[in-house]
Structure 1
Amino acid sequence: MALRLMAVLCLSIMFVTGRIAANHGVNLIETAFYRQLIALPVVFATVALTTGVGSIRTRRIGVHATRMTIGLIGMILNFLSYILLPPAEAATIGFTMPIFGTILSALILREATGIHRWGAVLLGFAGVLVMVRPDAGHFPAEGVAVALAAAVLTAMVSLVLRELGRTEQAGTVVFWFTLLSMAPLGLAMLFFAQPHDAATWGLLFVIGVVGGTAQILLTAALRYGPVSVVLPMDYSAIIWTTLLGAFIGEGWPMATTWIGAVLIIASGLYIAWREHVRARYPLKEPPVVSSAVPPQG
């Protein structure tokens, strides 16, 4: 639980720092590129010291490439959501990922989804409506749309990770995601790279280090504790992002944000609980792997 809490704190710092970097003129391509570039040696060293370099061998490079493509777009959209929305609100909408995971599992994988989980899905969407209050215009519509799109892509990544998890170790998945993403990002940097001052380079370094650390901590947390125990720690992101947002001068979330967050978190926790229960009876309803935070590998 402590490892998962630290992982979520690192992810919150990463995304909020990405918001600050954007204010310093850093574009999204640069943010994603340096996040992966700086994290790559951290990830490789961790794999080498734990499962060994030989564990990165794979015969499923095509599936890894699919995971990279979806995950990379989702990562960029997550960074963008923290730029367009206050940190706490961006994090809260990100909590809808388990909801979309349930929907995609039913539509794509044709998994049985009972009334309990569909009820949780409706509760979660009610929480989104309470929080954003479309009629009030508190938040830019494009920001909400980007955050929801990021949650959908993150849910899609979870489905791909389920498939990879049958044959690949977690460190292997993290390594190939980080390495393969360097090709499209490196190509894009030919057009988007620009000079920065020392302070901005420091922000990019922080993004890469805490991003790579989060990957390690997320993997380690699942090594020492079951998903049903560590998953609720993901929702601590609302605390970290609220505090970080206040620290950088974003103020405190509105009352409707807190109410919506309670509904969305309740929805996600109930879905997780149902998955835990159904995992014990796979013939009735196979579990859906989900996480409240964006998978980082």
Structure 2
Amino acid sequence: MPDTQDRIAAAIGLRLVSVALFGFMNAGIKLAEAGGATLIEILFFRQFGAALLITAVIIAGPGLRNVRTSRLPAHLLRAAVGLAAMFCFFSAIMALPLAESTAIGFTIPIFATILGALVLKEPTGPWRWGAVTGGFVGVLIITRPGVGDIPVRGAGLALLGCLLTAFVSILLRRMGRTEPTSTTVFWFSVLSLPPLGLLYLFAAQPHVPLVWAYLLGIGFLGGAAQFAMTGSLRFGPVSVVVPMDYSSLLWATALGWLLFGALPAPATWVGVPIIIASGLVIVWRERVRHLRAIATATAIP
């Protein structure tokens, strides 16, 4: 069994790979849209490609018998909320520059803190509430509602997507007590295909080969990124791997400039550090709380 240092290195490496893959997937979404693909087509191929990849990996590994579940209603709810979040995120990516949509995505830990306090009744002290406030100040700086160049609709969809994704994290935390990661990932991909397939029947249209390549690439990149992201959590704690997600801004900035000739607005460079700092404070406080819980559980009476 590898030592702790090797496992941490693997966790960080997998997380950085997942960030890069998601960055290229997001760029593929904008390229597919520019080539004439609709949101429904992009969503369908994202899940179709991911389902093929995930099913193939499970068949080659533990086998499909390992994805049996007795919690189908929970998986249905997770799929419904996950699809709604994906709809919002993909709409935001299509409406906003890559860097700005990525930066707003950094608010997921902030929404997770709010929902954790409201839904799970998790203790939330002044450090976390201060981080929540600071994070939303960063969002206001980036979007500059009413005076900036960022479309309000796009920013609103991005924030709604973050809220829904944070809610998914709450669901996964509860489901994770009985459901392995591979089971959850498999059912999310498979259960989302029937509604998306039905919508795709009305949205399907011919495309040039390059656009078909974009659509297929979105699915396989998303599926591979999902595996790398979940795999990172097998080797390292959240407090180690989550800060790696902020490297996505580098990919978004580079790809936005190389593919679309767009660089982040000056306000984005001001707001992003505030959002990142807020997220890191939340991760730090989660780590502190976790260590205190361990110390309490192992204390000699």
Q: TM-score interval w.r.t. the shorter chain?
A: over 0.9
Residue 82 in 1 paired to residue 89 in 2? no
Give the Å deviation of 1:45: 2.2
Distance in 1 separating the partners of 2:57 and 2:268: 38
Give secondary structure in 1 for the equivalent of 2:205.
Answer: coil
More helix by share: 2
Unmatched tracts of structure 2, length 5 or more = 1-11, 296-301
Which one of the candidate residues 248, 265, 268 is aligned to 1:254?
Answer: 265
Do residues 72 (structure 1) and 72 (structure 2) align?
Answer: no
For 1:147 and 1:10, how far apart are their aligned partners in 2? Answer: 19
**1:92 lines up with 2:92 in the alignment:** no
Higher Cα Rg, which structure: 2
TM-score, normalised to structure 2's length?
Answer: 0.91
| Aligned residues with identical type, % of pairs | 46
Please report how far the alpha carbon of residue 283 of structure 1 lies from its aligned counterpart in structure 2 after TM superposition: 9.7
| Whole-Å separation in 2 of the counterparts to 1:229 and 1:137 | 35
Matched letter for residue 132 of structure 1:
T
Q: Are 1:177 and 2:188 counterparts?
A: yes
1:46: Cα distance to partner?
A: 2.1
Q: Write the letter of the residue equivalent to 1:188.
A: L
1:226 Cα deviation after fit: 1.8
1:176-220 alpha-carbon deviations (Å, 9 max, x no partner): 000000011011112111111111101001101101110111122
* Cα distance between partner residues in 1 of 2:258 and 2:113: 35
The separation in 1 between residues aligned to 2:60 and 2:246, in whole angstroms, is 30
Which of 161, 168, 181 aligns to 1:157? It is: 168
CA distance in 1, matches of 2:236, 2:107: 23
Q: 1:35 aligns with which of 27, 46, 70?
A: 46
* 8 Å Cα contact 1:46/1:216 also seen in 2: no
Q: Deviations over 1:237-273 (max 9, x none)?
A: 1010000100112321122101111000110111011
After TM superposition, which residue ranges in structure 1, 4 or more long, deviate above 4 angstroms? Answer: none
What SS is found at the alignment partner of 1:281?
A: helix
Q: Does 1:131 align with 2:142?
A: yes
Write out per-residue CA displacement over residues 134-166 of structure 1, whole angstroms, 9 at most, x where no aligned residue: 242221111110111111111011001101111
**What do you get for the CA RMSD once the two structures are aligned?**
1.6
Cα separation, 2, equivalents of 1:249 and 1:183 = 34
Question: C-alpha separation between the residues in 1 aligned to 2:180 and 2:34?
Answer: 38
Question: How far apart in 2 are the matches of 1:40 and 1:143?
Answer: 28
Task: Give, as a single letter, the amino acid of the residue that structure 2 aligns with 1:217.
Answer: A
Instruction: Determine the structure 1 residue equivalent to 2:298.
Output: none
Deviation track 1:15-72 (CA, whole Å, cap 9, x = no partner) reads 1211111111111111011111111121112223444322201000100000000001
Specify the alignment match of 1:279 in structure 2. 290
TM-score by structure 1 length? 0.92
2:23 is aligned with 1:12:
yes
CA contact (8 A) 1:86 1:250 kept: no
1:25 maps to which residue? 36
Tell me which residue corresponds to 2:279: 268
Partner residue in 1 for 2:218: 207
Q: Structure 2 CA distance, aligned partners of 1:233 and 1:190?
A: 39
* Residue in structure 1 matched with residue 155 of structure 2 by the alignment: 144
Partner residue, 1:229: 240
Counterpart check, 1:104 vs 2:115: yes
* Residue 191 (structure 1) aligned to one of 193, 197, 202: 202
Deviations 1:276-295 (A, max 9, x none): 111223499xxxxxxxxxxx
